[in-house]
Chains A and B, each alone.
Chain A
């Protein structure tokens, strides 16, 4: 069955913003799919709201729609583009849910769009718990005894029948969002209520507990001729009970006998057949009780998944790429194995190494949240490490994590192990070091004895695992049975004479250091920049050499570079690669703080760094030196002080003036940064963060009510080109990563813009930047303040590139390779006549217990972009894309701090004119009523029921505008925001955001959104080239 010629145009849906449970892996899989479909000669229409993805680069599709992933918007794209087919299996749960909705509302039938990859029926059989159970039973497979409940009384039946503990999972959510384990009756009630609310169909599955059983996953692929292969087996070191996304996992499986494994394999194949996934990849999860040989099917995803991305990276078998080819008619044996070139894809990889995946958490960002691990995924990123033995891989994964601080290893370690937490393996190793037995640990963790023995050996004799010579080995899908052509390497420690397997020609190489695990503050944006650097290096006739350890990303696709080293980004690991590669230069500017931190260590032994010198980086980072530089340029900066220790900080504070921003030095994403309004608050911060001794603390005057501006520019040492000026929607003080921003600025005058350009130029040249520079400004009245300058790729580079149609990272990379801006013929003002809005996506809905408040500490996991002819429409699109769809009418609840009371009236007027019923707390209601706008008073929490939280929970509020009250008394606001997020009600926490929302609602009233492709917007439509 060769390529289907009856199709000519295929719609691919991406997965939208990065959220917990749905991250960069879908950019990796989607980008692969788009590439393959273009190669096969199809027209590809892509829709994805996430601008920081490689897949939304215009050359990856014939038409790229950066538009909200909502059924009616996809329907608009379908109406306009008239695709023959929709491929929904590569964009995560988001794409699958959209496909389902569009099938059910008749859109697909109306426009004659065929679902390829998975049929509607197969999607339902896999996703609907009841249907899945029935399907499994019919296939003779066992699922955990369970029941489906749509309310609490139904749920109670299960409680009586199965007993505690029970596992509760909502239907149709990603990463198990809203689910959990109930060990007590009280927990049971809470988890069921949360699960019912989280499920879009109000349904939860209550499972008999298989806690403590082994958890296994098999990645299965099936073609249209019913050929099935199992690409990879993955064993969770954490037993059942910890979400697989939060588990440390190992490939291939380690502890099962051949018979047990083959039984799993048989069942995985039976599952994909029974569900009826016609073509493509699926992930099947099992619980196995090795003592009794019982196997229980937990779930299956009829699409590529986070695990399939991991399996692809772990084996070299590109699941998404093959899934795309299968979807358009090919059979597995008609597709060549990319790695060997000579053998077909209809095989199962054999691997001669061990892969360990380790999740990366960000609990430090969300004080107060429940940091116990359970069936509800909480990690924000992951690393993968490859070693020749389990111990080698495990040790490598541990050092790949790049923890900000080593885990605290105090207290009763064994007691700590009883509840799985982010630091459980650090604790476990320490417990072994202190003499705990395997039985001690087993009793508390249920971890398989095989792992415990290995881990104890690693703990007591770490050198044994590290013995040998570092040698680079290829990932070849076949355990060296055939020659591999694809240069994808990892370091193995072997007995001499260990020979490298690196194959390279004569071309000089440029090494690009990636950004390591995704975390808050350092996400896919940096991977995007690294991928662009690799593309540019290749275009410049050099070998691009990528170093990274994040399995989710496009950068770690072996296709992206000429040589990929899947290695930790530590100085030692990177220097070892430099040793064998001898690169012409190393790029540290594109991967965020991770490679930047290595710059000095690399420069010291003479490794050539491309672009901005480490000296210039230091000049920008060092407050004193940078302040002097600004003084020399006659540029203003907010008053600041650097203090060593708490006492010095308290002494310096009055000189800086309140309110002030306080943070420790060298932070990422505003980590541990806080806004304080008084000496008492500062003292409290210093005590909480343990500021002591010589640790540097930065104090910055906070520019209250200032407009914040972000500028991305490129400098070649002689010329400066301004790529984009973005105005934040929220006032200064909200971390730039969490703030919505607009390009071009919507309310800055021409004079101010000229001033900003001039200041950016001056700073770039004075710093001696060669490559990218990001400058953040505060505009207060007519005054421009420089907040900070970062001579490296910023989080906004992909957004600016999508908004302007100019690839900033590529241009910067060319400059770093020696080209001059002058020769590039870049437009002075690349904005065009459209407006682009970037909005942050926050994980508050996943972290029950944390305050859903924006502040100087970055907390967003991802971003979306809205493009329209004007600001309000673009803002409305961005909000909708971020999942906070603005209502068209109904009740708006307003409650603002005193200083916002004058401004809130303007918002209220607009909302009133739009027909909203206004409800407000006493003070706010009074301010609004005084201006003649009817506002009903609603009780605050302390004023008794029915109060605002009751109203929100009852569904009586459609929009919340609630600004924080500065210092104390945050409890009310906290409860309001929590309730709003739980109900999915848009919750706006700044007055500027409220204004923008009101205007956006007005704009949305004017009719349906127009959708336009990036190719049309930037005048580059036509046939897409197959990207290199």
Chain B
């Protein structure tokens, strides 16, 4: 194996061995504490332009397979691992994990003291960095990192949104849901179509008029990468859609909806990424263990009433780790959203019921034929 290293924006360096596609790779260095689902994570568009550090000690155990794809592409720009495994002997494996990374053009680094790296990010905050072959001089590496724009203020949805609309039909028993695709995941598509709904994905730059012209029974706001504050056009579109049909948003969709009703978003120090955060539904007291993947959050506090441009809103879900907002419902219009990922993929299935609730809400609003 040839040497490689991770260099962070602040000059801290971690050595390891190169694996996957040849480097370098530059991006925001983040970490996920999820213990399974590495391929799902790397193909999740929300990791677009990020270097993903796995805290899981061994990554690649069961190889790679088409079934684990959350999108058509590898979106993470690089994978930082303590110990990467490249084998295809698991029954579901079609390719070894590192072979897959190579095929998908994703540089990786293994043998890294990921725990030390994570502790550094935890204390200093997420920052830009890169994975570099040992042959690349640190000075050159620093230059490459400096050339990468910061995550704050960055609209990455445009980079992952499809060029043309795409329809995923259910069995016809459910409603027609239209989504502005800022980085859809296969798990979300499956959750809608599996419930009979038809999901139409539109480029995220589609105007509100065009969206309405599609005859949507409900509007879904999709997760995705980047800073929601930099997506004013999308916020405007959504603002025009609120109140027309039921709206449900996940992750970036939650942030966009919140902005559209006049709430603010901010960047978390090192984000929430993993599959173990407890989220409480304050209406029922029930706690769900959730899949999380976000670097930004909506400003607000549990117990403080939320006043929005569309009337009163209720904070429905709260993160029990740090008290951040995990879900909001508008009380005067049919719209709600969650910050975490009920679709899982990867992660726990505790919140799959939210898809049922959305479809029920749509059906209550406009009984489907």
Contacts and interface: CB of A to CB of B under 8 A. Distances in A.
Interface in B61-78: 61-62, 65, 67-68
Nearest to B344: A262
Nearest to A471: B113
B349 A266 contact: yes
A346 B90 contact: no
Given A258-B36, A347-B278, A352 B285 contact: no
B96 to A, nearest CB: 11
A510 to B, nearest CB: 29
A348 B275 CA distance: 8
Contact of A265 (B15, B89, B118, B349): B349
A935 B330 CA distance: 91
A213 to B, nearest CB: 12
A420 interface: no
A438 B89 CA distance: 11
B90 A347 contact: no
B104 interface: no
A255 B62 contact: yes
A350 interface: yes
A350 B276 CA distance: 7
Given A258-B346, A346-B278, A347-B276, A473 B115 contact: yes
Given A257-B90, A450-B90, A352 B55 contact: yes
Scoring A291, A331, A333, A352 by chain B CB atoms within 10 A of each residue's CB, the highest score goes to A352
Interface string B1-44: 00000000000001110000000000000010111110010000
B55 A290 contact: no
B33 A225 contact: no
Interface string A488-506: 0000101100110100000
A972 B68 CA distance: 65
B280 interface: yes
A797 interface: no
Interface string A435-452: 000100000000001100
Given A227-B286, A343-B321, A389-B57, A351 B280 contact: no
Nearest to A483: B122
B347 interface: yes
A226 B61 CA distance: 33
Nearest to B112: A495
A349 B276 contact: yes
A638 to B, nearest CB: 56
B83 A389 contact: yes
A796 B89 CA distance: 53
B143 interface: no
Interface stretch (A54-62, A184-192, A474-482): A474-482
Contact of B274 (A225, A291, A350, A354): A350
B116 interface: yes
B320 A346 contact: yes
A768 to B, nearest CB: 47
Contact of B57 (A226, A333, A348, A353): A353
B31 to A, nearest CB: 8
Interface string B127-148: 0000000000000000000000
Interface in A264-319: 265-266, 290-291
B170 interface: no
A332 interface: yes
B346 A388 contact: no
A659 B274 CA distance: 68
Interface string A631-663: 000000000000000000000000000000000
Interface string A866-880: 000000000000000
Contacts of A226: 286
A352 B62 contact: no
B105 interface: no
B90 A290 contact: yes
Interface string A330-349: 01110000000001101111
A262 B349 contact: yes
Scoring B277, B286, B289, B345 by chain A CB atoms within 10 A of each residue's CB, the highest score goes to B289
B111 interface: yes
A712 to B, nearest CB: 45
B58 A354 contact: yes
A970 B335 CA distance: 84
A343 B344 CA distance: 22
B240 to A, nearest CB: 37
In the A-B complex, the 4 residue pairs with the smallest Cβ-Cβ separation, listed nearest first, are A258-B37, A479-B55, A350-B33, A258-B346
